Amino acid sequence: MQSSNLGLTDLKSMNILIVDDEASNVRLLETLLDVAEYKNLVSTQDPRNVLALCRTRAIDLLLLDINMPHMNGYEVMEQLHVLGEEKPVVLVLSAQSERNYRHRALDSLALDYVVKPFDTHELLSRIRNLLEVRRAQTYMRHQNQLLEQEVHKRTQELTDSRLEVVRRLGRAAEYRDNETGLHIIRMSKIAALIANASGMSNVQCELLLNAAPMHDIGKIGIPDHILQKPGKLTADEWQIMKTHSQIGAEILEGDDSVLLLTAKEICLSHHEKWDGSGYPHGLDGEAIPLMARITALADVFDALTSVRPYKKAWDLADALALIREESGKHFDPRLTGHFMSVVPEIIDIMGDHQEPSTE
């Protein structure tokens, strides 16, 4: 049923299930509904078939007797609760006129209760009313689904926009140090590879992949004459250079999204060292956030094998030798082992995102 088509004729196409162990009662209801031009009727004299019929035919209205063999009407209604929002509306048709029967039915799943023998015009009116209720339920459920889809879409758009801002900010910082921006692509992919090898979940690996590009955003606040100096920095210049980790954390301050909280953590701590000799806070061992430890390893390796204004690119063998040498000093030794286990994949990343030739 289309949610935009709310004419009365739609009611005639809704699915009605008749359940009564007496064949004559079933035929009477079928004839009555057929004359009233209801098109989709199904019936059974065995109440044990009801649940299966509701699952296969998407029944909208159930006309249900109470006293039947094998299962009574109350048991049928109890069984239908497993269908959740898909369960039909129920109209009980029973010869039992006692108030307790009516109360029990209405306290179960029934929305209406008609005593046999019934008035034909009244019954058709009640059927129409209950089908209106069902149609309204279906319409509202459909609208809620559309709303949920729209919320999901908008949330995804917001997430995508935030990711794009994060990437562009990371790219802006990197542009001052490496104008192709390929360093942050390589190192973030290498970081995610190490994370995966260490047993982190796909969600965590994806988070690291998206947060790691922000690791050096604080370099925006470092003067060019220091950041791009071709020679060794003076002691004072080095002190200024080291402030980029704190600057980066401050730039990302004030947002409570998991992405930016992780990026802030990486900014602040990716220059800490396993032995406590790093900066800005001299953290050591597992006191250094795991995401920052992984980023440090990926960042140093890619920096070693990349050209910088102040150095040439190292050979792969020399860079790997330094990583091994710094295991347990600069780097988490467990992560170093995971790094070494994925060197072939790291080489592939380097090949896929290599710097353009300067020739």
Tell me: the pLDDT tens digits for 305-348? 987 766 788 999 999 999 999 999 999 999 999 999 999 999 99
Residue 126: inside a domain: yes
Are 214 and 342 within one domain?
A: yes
Residue 319: inside a domain: yes
Task: Note the pTM of the prediction, 2 decimals.
Answer: 0.58
Map residue 284 onto helix, strand or coil: coil
Compute the mean pLDDT over every residue in the chain, rounded to the nearest whole number. Answer: 88
Residue 244: inside a domain: yes
Distance of alpha carbon 259 from alpha carbon 246, whole angstroms: 18
Of the candidates 98, 89, 44, which has an alpha carbon nearest to the alpha carbon of residue 69?
44
Contacts of 164 (CB under 8 A, 6+ apart): none
The yes-or-no verdict on residue 44 having pLDDT over 90 is: yes
Are 187 and 113 within one domain?
A: no
Is the torsion defined by CA of 124, 127, 133, 134 positive or negative?
Answer: negative
Is there a catalytic annotation at residue 219?
yes
Boundary (domain end) residue, out of 130, 148, 166: 148
Q: How many CA atoms lie within 13 A of 139 on its CB side?
A: 14
pLDDT computed for residue 175 by the predictor? 62
Number of domains in the chain: 2
Catalytic annotation, pick one of 39, 153, 189, 219: 219
Of the candidates 266, 291, 302, 267, which has an alpha carbon nearest to the alpha carbon of residue 200?
291
Helix (H) or strand (E) holding 114: strand 110-115
Are 191 and 329 within one domain?
A: yes
The yes-or-no verdict on residue 137 having pLDDT over 90 is: no
Mind listing the pLDDT tens digit for each residue in 251-300? 888 878 888 899 999 999 999 999 999 999 999 999 999 999 999 999 99
pLDDT computed for residue 234 by the predictor? 94
**Whole domain around residue 205: which residue ranges?**
176-352
